[in-house]
Amino acid sequence: MLQHYLSAADLSHTAAETLLQRAQELKAEWRNGSHRPGSNGELPLQGKTLALVFEKPSLRTRVAFEAGMVQLGGHGSYLSANDIDMGGRESIPDVARNLSRWIQVIAARVFKHATVETLARYATVPVINALSDREHPCQALADMLTLQEQHGKLSGLRLAFVGDGNNVCHSLLLLGARLGVNVAVACPPDYRPNPEILELAERYAAEHGATMTVTASPAEAVDSADAVYTDVWASMGQEHEAARRRLIFQPYQVNSTLMALAKPDALVMHCLPVHRGEEITADVIEGSQSVVFEQAENRLHVQKALILTLLNL
Ligand code: CP
Ligand code: NVA
């Protein structure tokens, strides 16, 4: 049973496969306009509320959660840093214990990963990591669903991640490893993924016949890749480092020269928002191999599946 979803590592191989299967079914229902009511004629989340506790801005995560709740018969309650000032006006344990008395699930987007862990420790309802400085596990679910849809499988694929060894990279390593995807990361030496996360991913990968590699060479990572993924060079909270990072990461730009080294049908992936002309050129992100809006759409389907799973529905 999945109690919280704080890290992509919280899903076993089977749990991840089941969740993706469920997301696919929800997507098919959504596409043909049917929402399946339960035996009592009610939608599954009738009367249920998801609290969205967000310390940072969001388009995709917030709207996918709010729309997903409405589509399943429930409701989302958005609480920005200005509303509750978690850790300032009210302690994190108190926020968790108050919310647990009114609502059924908490999704939190935070600066420090420890904040989602504290919320989970004190909440009596499931807590979802909607992005922390360490991981972005909801994004990785949408990315795996997209890869599976586009390539018809996951196991044995080669996913190259080019750029910062950041939260998005960490969750891709962990979930990719669980699902047998070979993940090849190319990053500047000082921006490698967290060694503990890499070690964990390597352990999972070994169980599923996959490999996790980290190199300083984008060409090496992208060689024969089935998908090439990148993310911004300065994440939320690192804006003050943006100018320095632009210089360091310049050789890691995903452009047509780099894409020529991947398989001819390689997918172009990005979690968005994008800085065109920095981590990826406009022609590549707008090109026919780009699936960035499929990834964005799939946030809706995987997050609905995740909430249903956490509520044992
Ligand atoms: N990809 C993603 O999480 O987007 P938002 O920051 O807009 O939620
Ligand atoms: N790495 C980025 C992802 C945004 C969705 C950030 O944390 O800002």
Mean pLDDT by 10 residues, the chain (313 residues): 97 98 96 76 94 98 98 97 94 98 98 98 98 98 99 98 98 98 98 98 97 98 98 98 98 98 98 98 98 98 98 97
Atom of ligand 1 nearest to the CA of 136: 3
Please provide residue 223's backbone torsions phi and psi, each rounded to the nearest 5 degrees: -50, 120
Taken in order of first residue, the domains within the chain and their CATH numbers are 8-135+299-310 (3.40.50.1370), 139-295 (3.40.50.1370)
- Has 138 been annotated as catalytic? no
How far, in Å, is the centroid of ligand 1 from the Cα of 299? 9
Atom of ligand 2 nearest to the CA of 235: 8
Long-range contacts of 286-291 (CB under 8 A, 24+ apart): 289/259, 289/265, 291/146, 291/150, 291/267
Ligand nearest to the CA of 62: 1
- Has 271 been annotated as catalytic? yes
Atom of ligand 2 nearest to the CA of 166: 1
Cα separation, 35 vs 24, in Å, equals 14
Cβ neighbour number for residue 32 with a 10 Å cutoff: 7
Residues in the chain: 313
Nearest residue CA, atom 7 of ligand 2? 235
Residue 223's contacts (CB-CB under 8 Å, 6 or more residues apart) are 261, 262
How far, in Å, is the centroid of ligand 2 from the Cα of 237? 9
Ligand nearest to the CA of 171: 2
| Predicted model pTM | 0.98
Testing ligand 1's pocket by substitution, the residue of 271, 274, 285, 302 carrying the most ligand atoms inside 8 A of its CB is: 271
pLDDT at 200: 98
pLDDT at 244: 98
How far, in Å, is the centroid of ligand 1 from the Cα of 141? 13
Assess whether the C-beta atom of 306 lies below 6 angstroms from ligand 2. Answer: no
- Has 299 been annotated as catalytic? yes
Ligand nearest to the CA of 60: 1
- Has 121 been annotated as catalytic? no
